[in-house]
């Protein structure tokens, strides 16, 4: 906690690689956080929100796209067009208290707003050990749960500290995307969520481990 986060110049959007070109999200199609929503293609450092299996390689949910990856340059389709429903980050209120809290599970939910087939688990679903980046499939335990709009915005940890001429942080390789869920914004606080998770451990170790502490701090721990 306490690390400064940087805003995106333009807010990223969720989108998918429409492999079979039917303009709808199918179960084998990969969902991305399209960092620059106007480019409409998979580009370097966009973040995969589901696994992309391209034997013998599996690119895991939470990974950044790199130069040379097989999905680089693929056309992206936005959610919320005439042919496919809107999608947004929502949560199941697991502790039944209302506000978003540590126990709650986050999803990328396409309308309708109850959990249904094809929705994507951002934090997993602990009671059934469903993992982050997995897709809701027919017959699973979290289907039909009610969800609420997740407060917050996307921002990033500028790991390499680079800035542009205007003084704004540059999002690039190795930077970590967060869902910034509560005041104060632009600071990593309890309940914030990492959308991309590469190499965050060293930063926590260097920046957050109090010298006297022997337990490993995690952002999720209250
Ligand atoms: Ca499709
Ligand atoms: Ca892109
Ligand atoms: Ca709650
Ligand atoms: Ca950077």
For residue 77, the CA-to-ligand 1 centroid distance in Å is: 9
Q: Which residue has the higher pLDDT, 197 or 109?
A: 109
Question: Cα angle at 40 between 43 and 181, to 5 degrees?
Answer: 80
Among the bound ligands, the one closest to the CA of 47 = 2
Q: Which ligand is nearest to the CA of 20?
A: 1
How far away, in angstroms, is 30 Cα from ligand 1 center? 10
Give the global pTM: 0.86
Residue 185 lies in a domain: yes
Domain that holds residue 187: 151-208
Work out the pLDDT band at 141, boundaries 50, 70, 90: very high
Q: Which residues have a beta carbon within 5 Å of ligand 3, which is an ion?
A: 93, 95, 97, 101, 104
Q: Is residue 168 part of a domain?
A: yes
Does some domain include residue 191?
yes
Helix (H) or strand (E) holding 47: strand 47-48
How far apart CA 106 and CA 193 sit, in angstroms, is: 9
State pLDDT tens for residues 11-70.
Answer: 999 999 999 999 999 999 999 999 999 999 999 999 999 999 999 999 999 999 999 999
Task: Supply the DSSP string of 207-220, one letter for each residue.
Answer: HH--TT--SPP-TT
Alpha carbon distance 34, 129 (integer Å): 28
Cα Dmax for the chain: 56
Residue 200 in any domain: the answer is yes
Ligand 1 centroid vs 62 CA: distance in angstroms? Answer: 21
Residue 104 within any structural domain of the chain: no
Q: Is residue 32 part of a domain?
A: no
Q: Are the CB atoms for 121 and 62 separated by under 8 Å?
A: no
* Under 8 Å between Cβ of 146 and 123: no
Q: Ligand nearest 118 Cα, by number?
A: 1
pLDDT at residue 219, as a whole number: 53
In a domain, 202, yes or no: yes
Of the ligands numbered here, which is closest to the C-alpha atom of 6? Answer: 4
Tell me the per-residue pLDDT of 161-211, one tens digit each, with 9 for 90 and over. Answer: 999 999 999 999 999 999 988 878 888 888 888 888 644 443 343 444 333
CA 100 to centroid of ligand 3, rounded, Å: 4
CA 81 to centroid of ligand 4, rounded, Å: 32
In this structure, is residue 41 part of a structural domain?
no
Q: Concatenate the DSSP letters of all residues of 181-202 into one string.
A: -SSSTTB--TT-EES--TTHHH
* pLDDT level of residue 102 (50, 70, 90 thresholds): confident
Ligand at minimal distance from the CA of 76 is 2
Looking at the chain, the whole-number percentage of residues with pLDDT higher than 70 is 88
Mean pLDDT of the chain: 87
Backbone angles phi, psi at 92, to 5 degrees: -90, 130
**Tally of domains in the chain:** 1
State in Å: Cα 93 to ligand 4 middle.
34
């Amino acid at each position: 906690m306490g690390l400064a986060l940087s805003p995106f110049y333009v807010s990223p959007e969720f989108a998918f690689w429409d492999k079979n070109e039917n303009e709808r999200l199918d179960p084998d199609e990969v969902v991305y956080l399209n960092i620059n929503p106007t480019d409409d293609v998979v580009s370097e450092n966009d973040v995969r929100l589901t696994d992309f299996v391209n034997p013998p390689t599996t690119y895991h949910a939470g990974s950044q796209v790199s130069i040379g990856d097989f999905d680089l340059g693929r056309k992206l389709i936005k959610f919320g067009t005439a042919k496919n429903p809107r999608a947004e980050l929502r949560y199941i209120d697991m502790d039944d208290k209302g506000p978003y809290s540590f126990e709650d599970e986050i999803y990328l939910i396409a309308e309708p707003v109850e959990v249904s087939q094809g929705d994507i688990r951002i934090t997993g679903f602990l009671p059934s050990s469903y993992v982050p980046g997995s897709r809701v499939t027919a017959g699973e335990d979290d289907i039909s749960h009610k969800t609420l709009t997740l407060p917050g915005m996307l921002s990033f940890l500028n790991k390499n500290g680079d800035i542009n001429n205007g003084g704004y942080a540059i999002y690039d390789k190795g930077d970590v995307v967060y869902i910034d869920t509560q005041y104060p914004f632009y600071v990593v606080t309890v309940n914030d969520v990492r959308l991309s998770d590469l190499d965050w451990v060293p930063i926590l170790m260097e920046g957050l481990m109090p010298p006297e502490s022997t337990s490993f701090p995690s952002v999720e721990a209250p």
